[in-house]
Amino acid sequence: MNEDARRIESYRLEKASTLIDLAFNDPLSCANLHLIFPTYKYSIAPMKIIATTHSSFPRIGEGLDEQKLRRAYTSLEKKKIGKAEFEEIQDGLVKEFISIQESAGCGLVTDGMIRWYDHASHIAGHLRGFEINGLLRFFDTNYYFRQPIAGDEIGEGDGGLADETAFVIENAALPVKSVLLGPYSLAKMCRNKSSMKFEGLCHRLAEILGFEVERMASKGTDYIQIEEPAFAREPKDFELLRKTVDIMGRKKGKAKLILTFYFGDCTPLIDRLPEIPADMFGLDFTYSPGLSEKLIKRGCPGPVSLGILDGRNTKMEKAEKVAISLKNILAESDIEECHVTTSCGLEFLPRQYALKKLELTSKVAGILNG
């Protein structure tokens, strides 16, 4: 810890509430901070802070020109356009979103999940042996997914998910993050009509998704984000989760595996996360009231992707306040890399607000990078 950080830490420990209150409640907090600490710097170099999209981005917006995909779906359903033309429109939108992320100042891009019908059926639809059934609510959102039905014959996919990754790599100048729904959450969201019990289904899905991880890695993706929202809500099967990540992790090649939790309190998981063989952990602060305090006390469990901006509300956080919080959180952590992102994918926000959150993410990372 450098001299500056030591002074901040010392002051913070003595008068933590005063500093935080001042920073959080005074609109001139930044100015005040440098008055209190003439040498105050937000930077926590040499730690690398990267702004990134969590995963998804709204595929349509308010303007007519932002509704291309919506019209394309309708045209496809009415057979006015063919699959090739539809996919061309999707390709265009993925490119557009890559460009949006680059312009917004992200250091790492995703495909925005533009092609995903939903979190479950998109993955299951590319794997062998799944049927796709009726709609179910996606956790506590007002967004619905088609429930996959898993039978005994489920197996390796058609390579479509890796092709999507390859498309992003071809079209992005920045490092790429691919996204997969994790085996635990997929098993939870499926209707299990196989002869396997839940644990067996998780293992089988980990093997199957391991192939996808391998394919994505072989295409050259930099990060693979394994999303486990179901686990964060009911974190009772820790050993099972660990095993599934272990199975997939063996196939990751040079890619870094990010195990991401959202829509649930991550705080109780923190102490045990180092047992899981992931390269990075994605944490949702909005559902985890004690998380900041926990991380300040014990440090981060490893490289982290911090979902500190609320991906479910239009209210815009103040970049400086978030930067102060992050600096406190990261002060005691001896990690090389930290991603700053939203608590969940951005598709739960209207596009204009999602874009502002994305810009805010970059602003926060920019402050921290000095």
Partner 1 sequence: MNREILKKLGIELPLLPTTSVGSFPKPPYLIKARTDRKKGQISAEELYGLENQATQEWMTFQESLGMDVLVDGEMYRGDMVAYFAEIIPGFDPGGLVRSYGNRYYYKPIIKGKLEYPGPMTVDWWKRAQKLTRKPVKGMLTGPYTIMDWSFNEYYPDRAEASMALAKLIRKEVAELIKAGCRIIQIDEPAVSVRPEELKIAEEALNIVTEGQNAYFITHICYGAFEKIYPEMLKLPVHNFDLEMSNSDLDMLEHFARFPFTKDITFGVVDVHSHVIEDVDLIKSRIEQALRFLPKEAVWIDPDCGLKTRTVEESKAKLYNIQKAVEAVRAGL
- Decide if residue 315 touches partner 1 (CB under 8 A): yes
Q: Which is nearer to partner 1, 38 or 63 (CB)?
A: 63
Q: Taking the complex as a whole, how short is the minimal distance between the CB of residue 8 and partner 1, in angstroms?
A: 30
> Which structure tokens are listed for 103?
């312009």
User: Regarding beta strands 256-260 and 337-342, do their DSSP bridges make them parallel or antiparallel, or are they unpaired?
Assistant: unpaired
- Decide if residue 142 touches partner 1 (CB under 8 A): yes
Q: Report which DSSP code applies to 176.
A: B
Neighbours of 121 (CB within 10 A): 20
Please name the residues in contact with 56: beta carbons below 8 A apart, sequence gap of 6 or more.
110, 112, 113, 116, 179, 345, 346, 347
Q: Which is nearer to partner 1, 7 or 356 (CB)?
A: 356
Q: Which is nearer to partner 1, 303 or 345 (CB)?
A: 345
Q: Which is nearer to partner 1, 4 or 24 (CB)?
A: 24
Which has the closest alpha carbon to 100: 68, 53, 147?
53
- Decide if residue 144 touches partner 1 (CB under 8 A): yes
- Decide if residue 353 touches partner 1 (CB under 8 A): yes
User: Regarding beta strands 223-227 and 337-342, do their DSSP bridges make them parallel or antiparallel, or are they unpaired?
Assistant: unpaired
Whether the CA torsion 182, 281, 285, 321 is positive or negative: it is negative
Give the range of 4-12, 95-103, 273-281, 310-318 binding partner 1 by CB under 8 A. Answer: 310-318
- Decide if residue 13 touches partner 1 (CB under 8 A): no
Which residues in 27-66 contact partner 1 (CB under 8 A)?
58-62
Give the range of 208-216, 224-232, 275-283, 344-352 binding partner 1 by CB under 8 A. Answer: 344-352
Beta strands in the chain (DSSP E): 48-51, 128-137, 144-155, 177-181, 191-192, 223-227, 256-260, 280-284, 304-309, 337-342
Q: Which is nearer to partner 1, 36 or 132 (CB)?
A: 132
Q: Taking the complex as a whole, how short is the minimal distance between the CB of residue 134 and partner 1, in angstroms?
A: 5
Q: What is the rounded distance in angstroms from the CA atom of residue 364 to the CA atom of residue 324? A: 9
Q: What is the rounded distance in angstroms from the CA atom of residue 299 to the CA atom of residue 145? A: 36
Which residues in 63-102 contact partner 1 (CB under 8 A)?
69-70, 73-74, 77
Which residues in 182-201 contact partner 1 (CB under 8 A)?
none
Q: Taking the complex as a whole, how short is the minimal distance between the CB of residue 144 and partner 1, in angstroms?
A: 4
Q: Coil, strand, or helix at residue 338?
A: strand
- Decide if residue 24 touches partner 1 (CB under 8 A): no
- Decide if residue 136 touches partner 1 (CB under 8 A): yes
Which has the closest alpha carbon to 369: 133, 107, 125, 185?
107
Cα dist. 137→124, 166, 265, 307, 327 in Å? 17, 30, 19, 22, 36
Q: Taking the complex as a whole, how short is the minimal distance between the CB of residue 288 and partner 1, in angstroms?
A: 15
- Decide if residue 137 touches partner 1 (CB under 8 A): yes
- Decide if residue 122 touches partner 1 (CB under 8 A): no
Site string for partner 1, 223-242 (x = CB under 8 A): --------------------
- Decide if residue 16 touches partner 1 (CB under 8 A): no
How many residues contact partner 1, by CB under 8 A? 34
Please name the residues in contact with 10: beta carbons below 8 A apart, sequence gap of 6 or more.
none
- Decide if residue 212 touches partner 1 (CB under 8 A): no
> Which structure tokens are listed for 53?
């999209």
* Of positions 44, 162, 349, 358, contacts partner 1 by CB under 8 A: 349
Q: Which is nearer to partner 1, 73 or 238 (CB)?
A: 73
Which has the closest alpha carbon to 55: 368, 362, 353, 343?
343
Q: Which is nearer to partner 1, 253 or 268 (CB)?
A: 268
Judged by the rule CB under 8 A, the positions of this chain that interact with partner 1 are: 58-62, 69-70, 73-74, 77, 117-118, 134-137, 139-146, 313-315, 347-353
